[in-house]
Amino acid sequence: MKQQSVSMLVRTKDDNPWSFTFKIQLWTLRPTMDSDDTGIDRPHYKFPPSMTTEIVTPRLGPLRCTDMVLGPYGTAVWVQPGDYSVAGLISADFYPQYMSADRSHETLVAATFPGLLNAKDEPQIKLWWNNHDKNWTCLGYDEESGCIALGSTVGAVTILAI
């Protein structure tokens, strides 16, 4: 039986509060065969994992939904936070009577990473849906059926069929 590679989707955390980007990285553990003390070849994974792809996204905002889902065929979905930087340091939520500020909303992002469904070297990214009303806090994704479920802070659940 051939051992499959293991892929992990990681969102990097930056301690710099002035940073305007965050990264989503796809890491891969590749299988290898080595002989053990008995001379028998045993499959195991080559460590450390290697970074396969990195997506840099220019958004600085509250990350309420930390869920990211990577399907077995290399598609992934996550919620990109709204961008606080479009309104400057003071948000319109706090001082609406004194200033008008553009608002940026959370966005559902879908990506196909290089692999079975994407023959290109770079991930294919689609901004799917802007969230104007609710703050998403959880996410579920079934790659086989193409369904995405989003939960909000008010308890509402939105199901999208793609």
pTM for the structure as a whole: 0.72
Judged by DSSP in three states, 86 sits in helix
The DSSP symbol for 8 reads: E
Q: Do the beta carbons of residue 46 and residue 31 sit within 8 Å?
A: yes
**What pLDDT, in 10s, does the model give residues 113-141?**
887 788 888 888 887 766 666 678 899 99
CA 28 to chain centre: 15
For 40, other C-beta atoms within 10 Å of its C-beta total 8
Q: What is the pLDDT of residues 45-101, one digit of tens each?
A: 888 889 988 888 766 666 778 888 998 888 899 888 776 655 555 555 555 555 555
